[in-house]
Amino acid sequence: MENATARLRVLALLVVLMFLALSTRLWFLQVLASQAFEGEARRNSIRYEYTDPVRGRILDANGKQLVINQPSRELQITPDQLGNKGDAVVLDVSKLTGVPVRTIVRELQNTRYVASQAIPVAEFVPEKARLFIAEHPQRFPGVQVVPTAVRSYPYGRMAAHLFGYVHLIDQEHLKQLQGEGYGPNDIVGFGGLEESYETYLHGKRGKQTLYVNSDGETIGKGVARPPTAGDDLRLTLNAHIQQVAERSLLEGMARARTYHDATGNYLRADAGAVVVLDAKTGGVVAMASEPGYNPEWYVKGFTPAQYNYLFKNSKVGASLNRAIQTDYTPGSTYKPITALAAVKEHIASLSGQYPCVGQYKHPNDTSGAVFNNWTDVNLGYMSIATALEKSCDTVFDAFGSDFYFKYANNPLGEDVLQRDLRQWGFEQSTGIDLPGETPGLVPDPAWASTRPDIFENGAWIPGGDILTMIGSGYVQVTPLQLARAYAAIANGGHLCQPHLVDQIVGADGSVVKKVTGHCDQMIPYTPLELEYIRRALQTVVTGGTAQCAFQGFPLSRIAVAGKTGTAERETGKQDTSWFASMVGPDPANPQYVIVTMVEQGGFGGQTAAPITRQIIDGIYPNIGDASHPSCTTPDR
């Protein structure tokens, strides 16, 4: 009996405790948590509608519109809404829009998207197609056609490598930009200026608050925040000079393909680049790269042939901006820089005379290595200026030997030549406002130690410095790096940071940001030394290796100083053709620096120099006779 009474008491206690717990929970829900639930209910009845901002334009230095916005209708597909109708939907969309099935599938399978994203697969969708899709929602689950604005290029293929393109944000960019208000359906810039200045160009999305009922129907509107247009980019680039540079490069490459190399084969001249810099500020006036492409392809969608050409054909490499993303052996265009290094280190002097022999051997070298000049004729003693005019390799070879001895006899093992070359910005990014720049290479003992496949036991040898002096061997520079160095010679020693954007301008016309070239860095050479090199390079044009290209040009009105370069490449590749120059009405104060490079283009005086002449004729119209002589002689 007592046991039964005890059990009843325990049971009664449990019941009391249960009622207490339920009462406490009810009080919590009705009193303490009521505000939280009220807020959650309110959020469940509110939706937000976002409006894309108008993306900023890209303008040239004179205000000409290079990249603008064009109204369009965009077809988007959300993969996780397709269900089991994916194949049929893709096929129907392809028929309606004309976009190949494989292109649609490639976009839908792109790993940079998530399945819940509305992925754009077609632009400029016809109104008839839009209406058909709207009238048959069951047939097109996950498909929508929305009004949008797309990029448009009034100048066609011009400067495509500089602009980049816009596309739906990927997961990587979304992670980076989520804190700045970007969402999974935002359009962002990829490559070129579109990427570098994304946060300025993009603007801010508009936001409309909508009140909805339990069926998802809109029953009212709340606060609206209109979109804010993106800022415009005003460039240092001159559209006219850019067109001249691109046209001259293409025509010059075509001319070169009618010439023969030393083996009797036609020159391939299959790629090239031109850089035109403002010598005083480092502003990019023109930057051309071939092969090129039409940026409209990114807007309208690629045909299979276009896609393969741009992304699959590595031999063409059309997506590369060869002015900054590919480096090359510079050949004799390097000699003005290495000549100044020799003077700085007291290996040579501006008043000295040096032997230009047909062959050069490093003193006490038992390896039997011989370094040949471009001619086997002994040209006698000459100054540095004449060595630049005649492009005498062996004068510079001897300087290279002296640099090697400086390294070998230095107890600290300091590579003096390489240190001096890096002071010009070689083997470094120039800092231009474009992504993907390659740093190039200044070969040195440390690098040699990592390449036992080239240097026995990884040991630096005299030939490393000797070949570096003439811009040969393993030296690698980009056309922009070389242009930057020549601009420093032209402007009195200021090593400027190249830049494409001059100003960022708001929608109201106000200047949001002024971009400068940062020309504070100085190279360690005197005005006298730089003037000596400028004068020496003028003789290259009047009587040296670039003489043919400038026949008939009024050099008394527009001064031109430059250096040709012919860089040998690996077996099976023809020589790279170079011409680096300083141009302007005042020979002591050049206005522009122009660097031209043509892969497999033969001699510098044969291909690159005539292209530069044609560009100069375009920059200064009505100055010369606009003739472009055929220079088939082997001018280096």
Same domain, 338 and 292: no
pLDDT value at position 490?
A: 98
Same domain, 281 and 297: yes
Q: Which domain holds residue 336?
A: 331-484
Digit-coded pLDDT (tens) for 45-59: 777 667 778 999 999
Q: Is the pTM of this model over 0.85?
A: yes
Which of 459, 484, 509 is the last residue in one of the domains?
A: 484
3-state SS, residue 608:
helix
User: Is the residue at 636 inside a domain?
Assistant: no
Same domain, 310 and 369: no
Digit-coded pLDDT (tens) for 438-463: 999 999 999 999 999 999 999 999 99
Q: How would residue 570 be classed by pLDDT, with cut points 50, 70 and 90?
A: confident
Same domain, 73 and 162: yes
C-alpha 184/C-alpha 174 separation (Å) is 7
Digit-coded pLDDT (tens) for 502-556: 999 998 999 999 987 789 999 999 999 999 999 999 999 999 999 999 999 999 9
pLDDT value at position 626?
A: 55
CA geometry: angle at 156 spanning 155 and 161, to 5°?
100
Same domain, 230 and 269: no
Whether 443 and 329 have beta carbons less than 8 Å apart is answered as no
Q: 47: which strand partners?
A: 210
Same domain, 373 and 311: no
pLDDT value at position 616?
A: 97
User: Is the residue at 410 inside a domain?
Assistant: yes
Same domain, 283 and 205: no
* Higher pLDDT pick, 271 / 17: 271
User: Is the residue at 507 inside a domain?
Assistant: no
Residue ranges with strand state E in 54-201? 58-59, 65-77, 119-122, 143-152, 165-168, 187-190
pLDDT value at position 7?
A: 60
**What percent of the chain lies above the pLDDT cut of 70?**
89
Residue 588 pLDDT greater than 70, yes or no: yes
pLDDT value at position 209?
A: 76
pLDDT value at position 474?
A: 96
Same domain, 104 and 249: no
Same domain, 478 and 370: yes
**What percent of the chain lies above the pLDDT cut of 90?**
64
Digit-coded pLDDT (tens) for 288-340: 999 999 999 988 778 888 988 998 887 789 999 999 999 999 999 999 999 99
Q: What is the mean pLDDT of residues 101-125?
A: 82
Q: 48: which strand partners?
A: 209
Same domain, 198 and 247: no
CATH for 65:
3.90.1310.10
User: Is the residue at 515 inside a domain?
Assistant: no
Q: What's the chain's length in residues?
A: 636
Contacts of 570 (CB under 8 A, 6+ apart): none
pLDDT value at position 82?
A: 87
H/E run at residue 236: none
Same domain, 351 and 434: yes
CATH for 464:
3.40.710.10
* Higher pLDDT pick, 286 / 174: 286
CATH for 567:
3.30.450.330
Same domain, 251 and 231: no
Q: What are the φ/ψ torsions at residue 139 (nearest 5 degrees)? A: -80, -20
pLDDT value at position 55?
A: 95
Angle between helices 86-97 and 127-135 (to 10 degrees): 150
Which of 421, 450, 484 is the last residue in one of the domains?
A: 484
Q: What's the mean per-residue pLDDT of the chain?
A: 89
For residue 52, the 8-state DSSP code is: P
C-alpha 374/C-alpha 11 separation (Å) is 110
Residue 29 pLDDT greater than 70, yes or no: no
CA 8 from centroid of its chain's CA atoms: 85
User: Is the residue at 256 inside a domain?
Assistant: yes
Specify burial of residue 214 (Cβ count, 10 A radius: 0-12, 13-18, 19+): exposed
User: Is the residue at 24 inside a domain?
Assistant: no
pLDDT value at position 85?
A: 84
User: Is the residue at 250 inside a domain?
Assistant: yes
Q: What is the mean pLDDT of residues 119-132?
A: 88
User: Is the residue at 36 inside a domain?
Assistant: no
Digit-coded pLDDT (tens) for 189-203: 999 999 999 999 998
Residue type for position 544: G
Whether 302 and 310 have beta carbons less than 8 Å apart is answered as yes
User: For the chain, what is the domain count?
Assistant: 3
Q: How would residue 36 be classed by pLDDT, with cut points 50, 70 and 90?
A: low
Strands 592-599 and 271-278: antiparallel
Digit-coded pLDDT (tens) for 342-400: 999 999 999 999 999 999 999 988 888 999 999 999 999 999 999 999 999 999 999 99
For residue 283, the 8-state DSSP code is: B
